[in-house]
Copies of this chain bind each other. A is one copy, B any other.
Amino acid sequence: MKFMDYFTEAEVTRIHEASLDILQNTGLSVRNEKAREIFKKAGCSVDETTQLVKIPAKLVEDCRQSYVPEYTFTAQDPKYDIVLPDNRPVVITGSSAPNIIDPKTGEDRRATSSDIANIANLINELDGFDVFSISTLAQDAPKGQISVSRFYPALKNCKKPVRSNTPTIKDLEDVLELGALIAGGKEAYKERPFINHHYCPVVSPLTMDVDSTDAVIYLTEKGLPVYGTIVPNAGMTSPMTMTGTLVLGNAEFLALSTLIQLIRPGAPMIYAVLSTVADLRTGNYAPGAVETGMLQMAHSQMARFYGVPSGGYIGLTNSQINDAQCGYETGINTTGALLAGSDMFNMGGLLGSLMAFDYSKAVIDNEIALMLKRMKRGMEFSEENLCLDLIHEVGPGGTYLDLKHTQKNMRKMAFYPKVATREMRKKWEASRSTAEERAFEQVNKIFENSVQKTFPAEIDEKIRNNFPGLVKGDMVW
């Protein structure tokens, strides 16, 4: 597949040069002291009073030389390892919603660690998802265990790569300790670091924060996987033009990439974004807007220019329920991003502007993910697939229905949906089911067949000794 482009080559070059201009002449406010030191040592102009860092274009260009084209999400079970861009489109759950739509009441409420255990189980079973980014927070986390209370149920119940973030270095160290305990030691963990870290160290416009930047520096120094997402919001934290928002976000990506490559040249990265346009009628955030999709598409073209895998939070919806809006907002923006070359889609399971996880939405998004994967697989051109002999044999007015060739190819060629109905109306009227209801049936079916997963008893004991009072981390359905 050759991707669509919004920009000409000359425009891409101009956007790159304009980004260098921003970093060199406007500069970046870097609140993190270590980051300022790293930039200073590399020859940036650093004002310790204003914390303003100006990055020479040459330094950004030098650091570009060590960008690498791959990024790996490691799983506890190696069969689930995922490599960008080879395994594109890589589909990931949306993450860190405070709430969940309760599957019994249909009302939203604060999410807990057992919700995370449930969701982890579900994502483990849904073929469309490649990575589990921990969908919610855990309100029941004991004091001092905010992060392990999320990672423990996630890692216990999902053997695909698990991804999330931590608010502090203390929490990050706890989570890495948890990883080492599961792996059977620090060295074993480092060989297969199956916790995949993600932060938003750049706050638009042009500010690098303290804590997330700390985490990125910490992990990069240790050679552990981490990447950052760039999140400008046009009209609030970036200019109210598409290219203005793009160039600002692009400059921010380059600033973060320069920092990472200065720490460890060749450290894998993802050009990840959640650029949006504020709805200035109300000030509301608009992740479902078509402009969000377009910005993702345009950033992906820049990522191709830099030779770095791309993607981000795309396909999220503003809708509060599984209605037509939630369907087309997810469908339009993910399809756009796929065809523009995005490799990674943090798209699954969230309603209402990333505020709440919903089980049916996760299953609907799984089906959309499988459709995107079918679209990516493409037309499968070959002399055999042209079927010239077959077309000649069947001839004008013949039928292909009863051919062995048709039977042989039907499963290979077509994606057979489980959520979408293709029943004629008269038949459908017996149930009058909605996509949401059929999706929820799938959830129930998956949980009926789910057995509670455990870590080996010895390991689990070590974990529980290490984190006294830790949540159970088991499914409750």
Contacts and interface: CB of A to CB of B under 8 A. Distances in A.
B406 A375 contact: no
A239 B400 contact: yes
Contacts of A436: 323-324
8 contacts: A27-B396, A52-B396, A234-B400, A241-B409, A290-B371, A324-B439, A328-B328, A353-B424
A243 B381 CA distance: 6
Contacts of A330: 328, 331
A35 interface: no
A110 to B, nearest CB: 13
A21 B421 contact: no
Contacts of A52: 396
Interface string A346-371: 00000011011000000010001001
A371 B294 CA distance: 10
B401 A235 contact: yes
Contacts of A401: 235-236, 278
Given A206-B396, A279-B422, 10 more contacts: A18-B386, A246-B379, A279-B416, A280-B410, A280-B414, A291-B415, A298-B379, A320-B423, A323-B327, A331-B332
A314 interface: no
Contact of A108 (B321, B416, B425, B435): B425
Contact of A380 (B108, B243, B320, B355): B243
A396 B26 contact: yes
Contacts of A42: none
A395 B26 contact: yes
Nearest to A429: B320
Interface in A11-42: 11, 14-15, 18, 21-22, 25-29
A284 interface: yes
A343 to B, nearest CB: 15
Contacts of A26: 391-392, 395-396
A4 B4 contact: yes
A399 interface: yes
A6 B3 CA distance: 9
B328 A364 contact: yes
Interface string A186-221: 000000000000000001011100000000000000
Contacts of A28: 396
Nearest to A361: B324
A371 B5 contact: no
Nearest to A419: B325
A385 B29 contact: no
Interface string A272-284: 0000011111101
A381 B288 CA distance: 23
Contacts of A74: none
A389 to B, nearest CB: 10
Interface string A299-321: 00000000000000000001111
Given A206-B395, A239-B387, A406-B240, A378 B18 contact: no
A239 B405 contact: yes
Interface stretch (A84-92, A127-135, A334-342): A334-342
Given A22-B391, A206-B395, A243-B379, A364 B324 contact: yes
Contacts of A286: 414, 422
B356 A425 contact: yes
Contacts of A423: 282, 284, 320
